[in-house]
Amino acid sequence: MDEKNDICIPSYLRFSPAYNYINSNKIKLPTKLNASDSSKWLKVSEDGLTIIYRGDLRYSYVGSIRANHYVPPEVGLFYYEINIIDKGTCGIIGLGFCEPNIRLGTMPGWDYKSYGYHGDDGKKFASSGKGSIYGPTYTTGDTVGVGINFFNNTMFFTKNGIHLGTAFTHVESSTLYPVIGLRSLRECVLVNFGQKQFMFDIDQYIQVNQRSNFINNITL
C-alpha cells in the first residue's frame, strides 16, 4: 500500500496507468463505508470500516451499506475484502457491488444491477432474488473478497485467500459501489479496502493475469 496526502492506494494498482491520477486525487477510490448511504439496521464505526447489525428482534430485516465512492472503471481492476467478526444468529451476510440507486433493504445481488455472494448458502446473485450455486459458505473468522475486472467485465470472489473462479460475466456499469449486506442479530464484519494487506494475493493475481492489460489497455 502506498500512502501520500492521506490517500490509501492498494499496492496492486501500481500496475495501472491510472495510478498517477489516483495518487493526485483526480480519481477517487472507495476507502470506507458510507454511514449516510446505509440501512438504519446497521451501526457503522467512526472509521467507516466496521458494521454491526442491530435489527428488530421480531423480524429479519435486511441492512445493506455502500462505500463512500464508486469504483472508477479507469482503474481496470478493483478488489476489497471483509473479515467476518461474528456470523450472528443466522450468518446471512453478503458482499459485492451495486449501483447507487439500489435499495438498501435488499441483500447484494437481489436488485437490478446488483451482484453478490452470500455466506449462508454459498450462492451468487445477480439482479435477482434467485441465486445459483457458486462457492462455499462462510462464517465467523473467514475472510471473503470480491474483485471486478473492467478489462473483460467479469467479477470474482475469494475465500480465505483462495480464488473461487469467475462468478459473473458481462458486468457492465460505470457506477458500481462496493456493497455489504447483513440480516441477523450480532452480525459484524470488518472491511478492508487496502488499508492493510489482503489475505488473497491480489498483487500476484495481477502480475499473472492482468499486468499486460494494466500496462497497455487503459487510456485516460
* CATH number of residue 184's parent domain: 2.60.120.920
3-state helix, strand, coil in the chain (%, to 5): 15, 35, 50
Longest dimension (CA), the chain: 54
23 or 158, greater pLDDT: 158
Q: Quick check: is 217 in a domain?
A: no
**In angstroms, rounded to a whole number, what is the distance separating the alpha carbons of residues 98 and 66?**
8
Please state the domain count of the chain: 1
In the β-sheet with 177-182, what is the strand arrangement from edge to edge?
33-38, 63-67, 177-182, 93-98, 114-118, 123-126, 132-133
Q: Please determine, for residue 143, whether its predicted confidence score (pLDDT) is greater than 90.
A: yes
With respect to residue 6, please indicate whether it lies within any of the assigned structural domains: no
| pLDDT tens digits, one per residue of 46-70 | 999 999 999 876 667 999 999 999 9
Q: Which residue has the cell 470472489?
A: 157
Question: What SS3 state is found at 80?
Answer: strand
Is 129 part of a structural domain of the chain? yes
Domain-embedded: residue 24? no
Question: How do residues 32-52 score in pLDDT, each as one tens digit?
Answer: 999 999 999 999 999 999 999
Query: Three-class SS of residue 144?
Result: strand
Q: Is residue 163 part of a domain?
A: yes
Is residue 118 assigned to a domain?
A: yes
Backbone angles phi, psi at 157, to 5 degrees: -130, 160
Find the angle CA(156)-CA(178)-CA(116) to the nearest 5 degrees. 50
What are φ and ψ of residue 215, in 5° steps?
Answer: -80, -35
pTM listed for this prediction: 0.91
> Is residue 217 pLDDT above 80, yes or no?
no
Range of the domain at 166: 29-210
